[in-house]
Structure 1
Amino acid sequence: MDATFKYRTFLVCLTLVFGLSALSVKLISLQVWNRKLSDTSAVPQFRSHEVIPARRGFIVDRNSTVIAQNRQEATLVADLNHLRSESILHRAVAHFYASQKEGWRDFDEAKQKASLSEARMLVKRNLSEEEVIEKHLTYACGIIGQELRTAPSQIREKFKGEATRIVVEKRISEKVARRIEKALQERNIQGFYFERSLRREYPMPTLASHLIGIRGYDKNRKLVGLSGLEKSMDEILSGRDGKRVLKRDEYGLVNLTKSEKVVPPKKGKHVKVTLDMGIQAIVEEELGMAFGALNAKYGSVIVVDPHTGDILGMASRPDFDLNIRKKYQDAVSYAVSAQYESGSVMKIIPMAAALDLRRVNRKTVVDCGWGGINRYGFRIHDHHPYGELTFDGVLVKSSNTGVFQFADMAGRESYYRYLRNFGFGSPTGFPIPGEAKGVIQNETNMRNFASATYGYGVSVTPLQLAMAYSVLANGGKLMKPRLVDSLIADNGAVLDQTPIHQVRQVVSSRVAKGMCLALEQVVLKGTGRRAAVPGYRAGGKTGTAEKWDSKTKRYNESEKILTFAGILPVHDPKFVCIVSIDEPSGLGEDFPIGGGTIAAPIFAQVAERVARYMNLPPTEEIPEEETSIVSSTTE
């Protein structure tokens, strides 16, 4: 009997030991070995992740004038999980009834607390759960509507439906958001919170809109830069978002006042550009007036410092408002993205090449014929019968036959080498999306060679023209255009500087200076007379190009692109200015449409204003009557 009892007792103890051991193993497994499972399944039920947006860097001009900045705004959101949790709503409803008492505002703190306590007891005793929820929501809509200056009924309409997250109002200023937060907090109203964000704002929204660009949502609904510097510098400007982990209670409701973990955002860097917004305003205004008056299809004006490649001003038409963006999709950065045959402004290439190779000098004379010459089995036509012209005379008269003869002296292969060395046929490396590289057609064809010497068969961009004329203005060097000057930290320290970059020496300083003096003659007595700037020695070249019609396979005489490329002052150049007007219309059949009549006067207006803005001292005295004549012809 004792043996049987002992045996049974042993089995019971053994069973208990195994059972307790198994339970211990399970507990250890849950607490240690399955910790990851616990973190990924249970914890999210008690956490909520909120993104803290990084502050985007500013864009400022060379004088630190703000071009793009941020404005903090808030979105008011309602959490219906809170709004349907009757247990946390009594205090707000009690506040509603207590605040109706006469003299409430004059009560001291103790008396207000007593009134609230009394009202809360009455609410719990006399109102059903549904009534408490409805009263709380009505009270909240009234307070919010008062701050937003919106009818409470309009806010109440937004709570129809089954969504648990309701956006009550977007784009609320930070000032109003803080007033609403204070009002809700004072009344113990629950279930509402703000999502903060930084809205991009442009203080001068119509200046340099193509260069600055905009932000928006991509196909993945991610907020990114869509154009201009906002796109190309997006990663640098954006910084890195932070995050906040909010706790939830056992009912799954977010505790809006407690954070479990905060990872602070990293601010974006500021971008300083080479633009001078004073000059930018000038080019925008002058181009805008001319564009409207000429009823043109496209247009652009560029002002560049030839010695550094700094873009001081660049405007294109059509344009758009950076804050409104109505015409954003239709606007093209014509100065950078348009490529076209530009006509006689390209005549500087063969002329400079012939000078640089020492095949000719500025006293060399060529026979331009009487309206045309025959070469290599084909005829080259000219505008008028010019006869013999000097080097300068060919540029002054813009003679096609004269330019071809100088190009022929340089040689076809040499010409194309210089053409590429001046920067044509390849992108400049400009830091905004969409830059065109231009096109150089068949270089082995002599007809193409002839056409290219006076601006046909070679497609260029206004920006390439600006950098090519800068070669002549700076002593013969091709510079890379600079738009981004530097990256700036929040404390003003320069983090990275874009170096001034000389691409290559194209022609000698002797040739560059001689070409500038020859271009001065074009303005003094040639096709560029209307580009004259009172008090300053200006030089430049006109260009009139008919557009190719792909349907008729012919050049269309009624569709033209007019250009003027100018340098001021020619003896000590401070800036180069390129004006391009594409397809002006409505000027009348008798109006002589050309680079000298359309683009040159725009250059004169821009150059005069820019010279004054830059405080350039006048280079010569002009009699009052002569000044008035120049002004009238410019107009």
Structure 2
Amino acid sequence: MRRGSPTRRLRISLLCVGFVLSLVAARLVQLQGLDGAKYQAMAEQNRQHQISVPAERGEITTADGTILAMTILTDTVTADPTQITGSAPGQTALEQRQQVANALAGPLGMPSATVLHLLQHPSSRHYVLLAQSVPTSTGARIAALMAKLKVVGIYLTPTYTRDYPAGDLAGNLLGFTTFTAQGDMKGRAGIEESANRLLAGRDGREVVETGTNGQPIPLAADRVRPMVAGGSVRLTILAGLQWEAQRACARQVRLARADSCTVVVMQPATGKILALAQYPGCRPSDLACAAATQDLPVSAIFPPGSTAKVITAAAALEHGQTPTSAYTVPEQIVVGGFAFHDADPHPTERLTLAGILAHSSNVGMVQVAEHVTPQVQYDYYRAFGVGVPTGLPLRDASSGILPPPSKWWGDQRYTLAFGQGVAATAVQMASVYATIANGGVRVQPAIIAGTTAAGGRYVPERRPPSHRVISATTAKELNDILQQVPMLDATLANQPWGEIPGYSVAAKTGTAQMWDPRAHCLCQYGSSYIGLAPASNPQVVVAVNIQNPRSPDYFGNAVAGPVFYHVMKFALGTLKIPPDRAKRPNVRLTGP
């Protein structure tokens, strides 16, 4: 076969090479010239990533500075099981994972078998969560152990965790937090929820440039939006008083075998709630318990019973009756076809309006109610704060139940006279007596003393609104009458819980009948004791309510009285209120 010319073949080869080079050159011109900006931007996107800079959630404190809720730095422990495959010669992946599990079991407080199971059955091939909210000291210990074992694949990620250093103190008021899908803490109940916007702050954003290993390059960060730390909330409650109220509640629930207990301590002149206690309660860090726990003092409603008689008495005193207006009071009376009776048997007697209230006569109060119209009775309940919002910044705060007169049935006008057929919260009933203590002026209850923004400036909360409910004269008349109750309880019932040495006390007890859904009868009881001191110049109100006591003596003075005594005595000492040593006013209780 005849071969072609070598020169010709060389020329053809050069032409082919030149053609290829021209294509390459054209592509380079396109990439670097025409599309250069596009590809440069794509390269920047591959190197730069936006990351979130989480804001630290603010604190919740008591009025005296005790920290109730705070944010602490913790570690989240994760693992990449594909990296734990045996590092020593002849060591299998299972053997090294068992070694890691044994090392982590102690610091994490988990059985070694549990840790090994997680490593062997990860949620994804390269990731498994081992533990959250691990203290940083424990995290440092884990890092040292892994370094000693020369193990890779165990990772510690710094995170924020909500901590409640005071345990269950005011847990019902605080609420709790959970994490959103974006990893942010969010309040789910109580103050954590209502003040969430302030407490949460605002996360920041950063654009970071990453190296070939995917790690951020330290000096390549450009802050896009600065992080704003969360603000803090200062409550009106006092830590020591709150603790004593919770302790007294817990003790009495156990003694009386009751369902629950609430205590509200309030300053009459300011509306500030100094204690908002309940039992049972729980730690906010126990999410299952916290989510199932009701904030009883503001959300649980109950018939106030005889403690509401002061409202009917106030309406009557402002509409023509006087403390000495006399009534004939039998043991039982029939009005409008309905029979009403007193709690204890007694002969027919003559009592003044003051005597009816002090002796807590249902029969007498039914007659007193006939001196006011149903609309007036309804208006006074609302003016005292029953059946209206409390104004507290808590989602579950109840307004109580008070139907308008057009919806009253049968004997409701008369049952309202002694606190049945109506429902209120513990805070609402405390506010009723705070109104009397404050000379007839109701100050809306308040639980927040002030807030501190991220800049550190403290802003006191605005003074809550107030309005006059009854005249100063009527308030004093009620105060004088209520000062007779502790003496009557001590002498007639042997229940001296309203007698605090050195202090004058005005008080009222109540024992309301409640429906028992199991027995289908009004055979459960709610026991209350509400009082103010010093009665000569009231500075503190304590309201106690105990639900469904199963002790033989279920009356308010016997069941709720001991809690009132201990909490009021402690409150007077805590607030440094000196004894007034005032004599009990001379009030006529019997009629001619």
Listed as ranges, the gaps of 5+ residues in structure 1 are 1-12, 87-92, 97-126, 623-635
Contact 1:140 1:184 in 2 (8 A): no
> Match for residue 352 of structure 2?
390
Q: Secondary structure of 1:463's match?
A: helix
Matched, 1:76 2:91: no
> Match for residue 59 of structure 2?
58
> Match for residue 474 of structure 2?
511
Counterpart mapping for 1:263-274 below 5 A = 263=223, 265-274=227-236
Counterpart mapping for 1:2-41 below 5 A = 24=29, 27-32=32-37, 38=42
**1:573 shift after superposition:** 0.8
After superposition, the Cα gap between the structure-2 partners of 1:153 and 1:423, relative to the gap in structure 1 and judged at 3 Å, is closer
1:522-550 deviation line (CA, Å, top 9, x unaligned): 12225775322222111111111111246
After superposition, the Cα gap between the structure-2 partners of 1:421 and 1:223, relative to the gap in structure 1 and judged at 3 Å, is same
Q: CA–CA distance in 2 between the matches of 1:583 and 1:28?
A: 85
Counterpart mapping for 1:204-223 below 5 A = 204-217=166-179, 223=185
> Match for residue 123 of structure 1?
none
> Match for residue 365 of structure 1?
326
After superposition, the Cα gap between the structure-2 partners of 1:284 and 1:29, relative to the gap in structure 1 and judged at 3 Å, is farther
After superposition, the Cα gap between the structure-2 partners of 1:26 and 1:602, relative to the gap in structure 1 and judged at 3 Å, is same
Q: CA–CA distance in 2 between the matches of 1:183 and 1:552?
A: 62
> Match for residue 498 of structure 1?
461
> Match for residue 285 of structure 1?
247
Q: Which moved more, 1:277-286 or 1:606-615?
A: 606-615
**1:593 shift after superposition:** 2.0
**1:35 shift after superposition:** 6.5
Q: CA–CA distance in 1 between the matches of 2:113 and 2:547?
A: 54
Q: Secondary structure of 2:237's match?
A: coil
After superposition, the Cα gap between the structure-2 partners of 1:346 and 1:156, relative to the gap in structure 1 and judged at 3 Å, is closer
Listed as ranges, the gaps of 5+ residues in structure 2 are 1-17, 584-592
Residue 215 of structure 2, aligned match among 242, 251, 255: 255
**1:519 shift after superposition:** 0.7
> Match for residue 479 of structure 1?
443
User: Which letter does structure 1 place at the counterpart of 2:440?
Assistant: G
Q: CA–CA distance in 1 between the matches of 2:32 and 2:91?
A: 43
After superposition, the Cα gap between the structure-2 partners of 1:170 and 1:409, relative to the gap in structure 1 and judged at 3 Å, is closer
Residue 460 of structure 1, aligned match among 400, 424, 429: 424
Q: CA–CA distance in 2 between the matches of 1:213 and 1:354?
A: 41
Q: CA–CA distance in 1 between the matches of 2:202 and 2:324?
A: 64
> When the two structures are aligned, how many residues end up with a matched partner?
553
Q: Secondary structure of 1:254's match?
A: coil
Q: CA–CA distance in 2 between the matches of 1:395 and 1:266?
A: 57
Contact 2:322 2:353 in 1 (8 A): yes
Residue 43 of structure 1, aligned match among 33, 42, 45: 45
Q: CA–CA distance in 2 between the matches of 1:219 and 1:549?
A: 43
Q: CA–CA distance in 2 between the matches of 1:407 and 1:257?
A: 80
> Match for residue 588 of structure 2?
none
Q: Which moved more, 1:477-486 or 1:377-386?
A: 377-386
After superposition, the Cα gap between the structure-2 partners of 1:178 and 1:47, relative to the gap in structure 1 and judged at 3 Å, is farther
After superposition, the Cα gap between the structure-2 partners of 1:552 and 1:144, relative to the gap in structure 1 and judged at 3 Å, is closer
After superposition, the Cα gap between the structure-2 partners of 1:525 and 1:163, relative to the gap in structure 1 and judged at 3 Å, is same
Counterpart mapping for 1:309-348 below 5 A = 309-325=271-287, 327-348=289-310
Q: CA–CA distance in 1 between the matches of 2:355 and 2:203?
A: 63
Percent of residue pairs bearing the same amino acid type: 24
Matched, 1:564 2:529: yes
**1:569 shift after superposition:** 1.2
Q: CA–CA distance in 1 between the matches of 2:156 and 2:49?
A: 15
TM-score by length of 1: 0.77
Q: CA–CA distance in 1 between the matches of 2:70 and 2:543?
A: 30
Counterpart mapping for 1:111-130 below 5 A = none
After superposition, the Cα gap between the structure-2 partners of 1:293 and 1:141, relative to the gap in structure 1 and judged at 3 Å, is same
**1:416 shift after superposition:** 1.1
Residue 469 of structure 1, aligned match among 416, 427, 433: 433
Matched, 1:582 2:547: yes
Contact 2:53 2:203 in 1 (8 A): yes
> Match for residue 488 of structure 2?
525
User: Which letter does structure 2 place at the counterpart of 1:362?
Assistant: P
After superposition, the Cα gap between the structure-2 partners of 1:296 and 1:221, relative to the gap in structure 1 and judged at 3 Å, is farther
Contact 1:143 1:184 in 2 (8 A): no
Matched, 1:353 2:355: no
> Match for residue 511 of structure 2?
544
**1:188 shift after superposition:** 9.3
> Match for residue 612 of structure 1?
573
Residue 416 of structure 1, aligned match among 378, 383, 401: 378
1:386-442 deviation line (CA, Å, top 9, x unaligned): 422112101111112322332222322211111111111122021222112111135
Q: CA–CA distance in 2 between the matches of 1:180 and 1:199?
A: 19
User: Which letter does structure 1 place at the counterpart of 2:309?
Assistant: K
**1:514 shift after superposition:** 1.6
Residue 425 of structure 1, aligned match among 351, 365, 387: 387
1:446-465 deviation line (CA, Å, top 9, x unaligned): 62111111111111111110
Contact 2:105 2:115 in 1 (8 A): no
Q: CA–CA distance in 2 between the matches of 1:315 and 1:600?
A: 16
After superposition, the Cα gap between the structure-2 partners of 1:407 and 1:30, relative to the gap in structure 1 and judged at 3 Å, is farther
Matched, 1:177 2:139: yes
User: Which letter does structure 2 place at the counterpart of 1:477?
Assistant: V
Matched, 1:380 2:385: no
> Match for residue 15 of structure 2?
none
1:472-493 deviation line (CA, Å, top 9, x unaligned): 0111122111111111146642
After superposition, the Cα gap between the structure-2 partners of 1:147 and 1:608, relative to the gap in structure 1 and judged at 3 Å, is closer
Contact 2:81 2:120 in 1 (8 A): no
1:548-590 deviation line (CA, Å, top 9, x unaligned): 246877x423x111111111111111111111111111x3xxx
Matched, 1:67 2:27: no
Q: CA RMSD in A?
A: 3.9
**1:310 shift after superposition:** 0.8
User: Which letter does structure 2 place at the counterpart of 1:391?
Assistant: L
After superposition, the Cα gap between the structure-2 partners of 1:430 and 1:344, relative to the gap in structure 1 and judged at 3 Å, is same
Contact 1:441 1:448 in 2 (8 A): no
Contact 2:536 2:580 in 1 (8 A): no
**1:146 shift after superposition:** 11
Q: CA–CA distance in 2 between the matches of 1:540 and 1:226?
A: 37
1:230-259 deviation line (CA, Å, top 9, x unaligned): 121122111123355555544xx4226647
TM-score by length of 2: 0.82
User: Which letter does structure 1 place at the counterpart of 2:45?
Assistant: V
